[in-house]
Structure 1
């Protein structure tokens, strides 16, 4: 990292970058692929950065109130010279200067198993959301001003599946927008997506540079492909428009891009929307290797300026450390390098947007004591609509099951509580859909006294299945008694049953257990997240962890912990299975309850 000058050590320490685009015409055969030398140089640079930066993700049920060491307390930054900062690391890409926060690892989003599962499910042809649910995404005329442009990108040597992926991508953008709306029950705000027809999200079909024989694809390949479509013979239009935020799902690169996604971030925390570099008119770029809401929302968050180095809970590497939060994880930034740890002060889902409204997003006007009152607030980004107060249109103040709930009863109803009395609640404005996009037959009712709308499916829901509930607002949809429309919204939940442990060996309280035998546990169904970090053995008296190998018994639901050495004689040992949304859970995401038991070895 010697390229970083000593006077500004925290600007680009953890940045991985895109290479300089060339504008020469060429034939796209592998031997002549552009950026080969530059990419090899970047690969060495990136590997060095990855050695320095740790991406360990701690379990979400750990509590730690540690704070950043005093020496890392931030200094307010004002009007940085982005071109100068980026040039110090040679971070220039064709027609713009980018500073990237570096690739976000799959562990930041729950691990590769969850992302691959999500990707597989989403890619089974999710039905397009109806136009009535997309009105919030196509605000105003759908084209003017700053706009988020959605891209389906595929390497030149991979199968183009655009026709099958348009509907899932549009549905994913609805989920991304719903997550923003869920950030604050008292306000409403939406992303400004590009909708050229004014009705639904535009999805561009874009061919990218090939993966090729080296099985490698990087962020600079993506950016270079977009900026040089014509020069590289990939397409008729270069994606370099000002006032554009390009968010791309890159299809079929999970084997060659070993991360979740990547985006760019400007180091500028000054509060003015007119002056802040995170809100200027240049194009900006983000990509995701997975069709996954948290990944895409996370990368968009970077593009609009989250999280600045001076934020109260900044990692000093583009992220935060107060879980659970869409932008928080252990990224190995300066905060973590100097001994800081993740804290767990935020209740709710991991996809919450700034859980305490104090680091990067405050919908509305922050109080004077709030950091965001005097620093960059992403709610002021031009890529978001203005915040609308709940005093004007009605909002949803309560949802049941809560958004992203797990282990929900198959006989449960879904309810929505409104901030004020509404009209227009019916089977066409409140619906529940299965993963395939089919609307379930249901009865819908509305209690005028409690302002609660209830949807009751005609049949029990399927087990271990993710369902989505939608509320459609509009002048003929759900609206208050004066006619002010609800902003269309929705949420999802996953049915149970919860997985259980059916067999423990040795059993709880067992004595005379073999000192050389393995410890095993059998679950009621197939599980994910079982590893050495979630299936542990320790000496009860000393607390010393026992080194062991954790593996699955073939294709069964039994998992085995095999100690690396013979256990001590006549000694009590403790076994712990840690459940959680990012720990031990079934294949639908339902967590097993954390289980602890003890046994004593024989002589």
Structure 2
């Protein structure tokens, strides 16, 4: 039987799995569905009558007995071993494992903090095991660093599933500094020349009885994930895990979140294999999921949990679909089959079914809050800005990546101005200091660029790229007023005028006004410019009253009297008194 995974990057990988194992998966899965209609195993993309069946409150004892096996001290349900072809083939996996054993760089502090969340010991924890059969060479001292590094990669892959969240696996870190790796001796390969998932689980559960170690690995708040060294010649698969067939949405009721030990293993030090098996342990993929193979996997490639596993969906004629861009390590590429970080919309399958994001072996979802600019100077659309002014931005949290490439000032032509850029970590203020004095009456644009290599906070959450503009001064002024301020005996029929020191816009009957100083009544008038000069004339519609005080007002503002660059004049008033 052929097993197919997504092209990576452009070829289809084919492989074989024992017919007996596939038959067991198909028969078990069919037996679990409460229907006699085999067409119910096909997806809704096939004939309308072929709909997935939702299972709730399953009888786990019966399901486990049919699906796989019962072993000492606990009941395990397993989908069966994942073939090496599901992860690119044995050659690829061996190359990856060999590469991981090379020098490992020191992990960034942020990665270790994520791995050792909440002190690293409380509540449910993923306990990492370096396992080796008793009759093979123990290489724990050599493999400790590569195994730890692999768990960082597994966790980074989860974090990458959604940039807006910061969910992590809850690894056990007894020292609170780095993931704990147990050095565990397992049952020997022995004369039969094979090593199975049963051998692994029985070895962990019966360490004391089998004389392998001082502690049995049976804690009810543990997910045991093991890299088993030196079994690739006797274990012809990539790895294997157990799963609970329970799609109830409530974490408090779902069997995927109950208190019991659970087990996964990998024969290779490979991120997709280990992450895939952990995925099974936390409840992916339920039979009722939109793209379920009904054998513990999905058919919507490329995806961490998807491949042609020969399950009922494929046995009845279903095929892989390729609607997901990206690498095979993507976690639920469309956020609709087994993992939705956050609250799924009502229309999403995971809104009413088990969502692995609610697993107790993952940290609670915390929405990643990007840094923002809280204070800008000059302000957005500020005018009359000093030509020697610096531009500053104050951030809501400490950031990194502030430089001349991420904080830039441009002129109206789009040219970037030469400037010195600095960042004060204690005040969280970034400052751009132009090399040359800015031009007068000119609109400039400031840009701040976020991104993984741009401005971002200490955890790497990027600023949403932003920017604003401002206009340099100087502000326009009134150089001549007629009648002059405080004048008496002014002509009752003469016009009122204001001469500015530069060309103006926005001077009109609403911004250049005349009122009776005693009554406050507005004097109707026509406002016009005197030719091409900078003088503006207010011509009353009727002769002004004799021996009466009048108030002239020129109103500035962004929609008032302003120069041609948009700089507003300061609002100005003056009074005069008419003659007889």
TM-score (norm 1): 0.57
- Distance 1:348-1:90 versus aligned 2 partners, 3 A rule: closer
Counterpart check, 1:116 vs 2:94:
yes
- Determine the structure 1 residue equivalent to 2:164: 186
Q: Deviations over 1:223-248 (max 9, x none)?
A: 00000000000000000001100000
Alignment partners' CA distance in 2, 1:110 and 1:421: 43
* Alpha carbons of structure 1 residues 472 and 79: separation in structure 2 relative to 1, 3 Å: farther
After superposition, the C-alpha distances for 1:442-489 in whole angstroms (9 at most, x for unaligned) are xxx99971114549xxxxxxxxxxxxxxx9976xx66789xxxxxxxx
5 Å-filtered alignment, 1:60-79, equals: 67-68=45-46, 73-79=51-57
1:158 is aligned to 136
Cα separation, 2, equivalents of 1:109 and 1:426: 40
Residues 96-115 of structure 1: pairs in structure 2 closer than 5 A = 96-115=74-93
Equivalent in 248, 270, 286 of residue 270 of structure 1: 248
Q: Distance in 2 between matches of 1:297 and 1:267?
A: 19
- Stretches of structure 1 that go unaligned for 5 or more consecutive residues are 1-44, 55-64, 395-418, 428-444, 456-470, 482-603
Contact 1:421 1:451 in 2 (8 A): no
Structure 1 position 50, deviation (Å):
3.8
Q: CA RMSD in A?
A: 3.1
Indicate conservation of the 8 Å contact 1:423/1:479, yes or no: no
The whole-number CA distance in structure 1 between the counterparts of 2:272 and 2:175 is 27
Contact 1:301 1:327 in 2 (8 A): yes
Is 1:347 equivalent to 2:347 in the alignment? no
Cα 1:306–1:480 shift into 2, 3 Å: closer
Is the Cα–Cα contact under 8 Å of residues 66 and 341 in structure 1 kept in the other structure? no
Residues 275 and 213 of structure 1: CA distance in aligned 2, closer, same or farther (over 3 Å): same
Count of residues in correspondence between the two structures = 371
Give matches, 1:148-297, under 5 Å. Answer: 148-297=126-275
C-alpha distance in structure 2 between counterparts of 1:297 and 1:79, whole Å: 27
- Note the alpha carbon deviations across 1:172-218, whole angstroms, 9 max, x for none: 01100110011112222100000001111000000001112222000
Aligned partners of 1:204 and 1:327: how far apart in 2?
27
The alpha-carbon deviation at position 70 of structure 1 amounts to: 5.2
Q: Could you say what secondary structure the match of 1:133 adopts?
A: helix
- Equivalent residue, structure 2, for 1:358: 336
1:451 match? 450
In structure 1, the residue matched to 2:69 is 91
Bigger radius of gyration: 2
Specify whether residues 222 and 453 from structure 1 end up closer, same or farther in structure 2 by C-alpha distance, changes over 3 A only.
Answer: closer
| Whole-Å separation in 2 of the counterparts to 1:107 and 1:361 | 24
> Residue in 2 aligned with 1:48?
20
Q: 1:130: how far off?
A: 4.6
CA contact (8 A) 1:127 1:167 kept: no
For 1:157 and 1:257, how far apart are their aligned partners in 2? 15
Cα pair 1:131 1:200 within 8 Å, conserved: no
Indicate the larger mover: 128-137 or 236-245: 128-137
- How far residue 68 of structure 1 moved from its aligned partner, in angstroms, is 4.5
Q: Distance in 2 between matches of 1:336 and 1:87?
A: 23
Q: 2: CA distance between counterparts of 1:343 and 1:282?
A: 35
Whether the 8 Å CA contact 2:302–2:325 is kept in 1: the answer is yes
Cα offset for 1:123? 1.7
Q: For structure 2, list consecutive stretches of 5 or more residues without a partner in the other structure.
A: 1-16, 27-42, 373-394, 404-421, 424-429, 431-446, 464-580
Higher relative contact order (CA 8 A, sep 6+): 1
Cα 1:373–1:161 change in 2 (3 A) is same
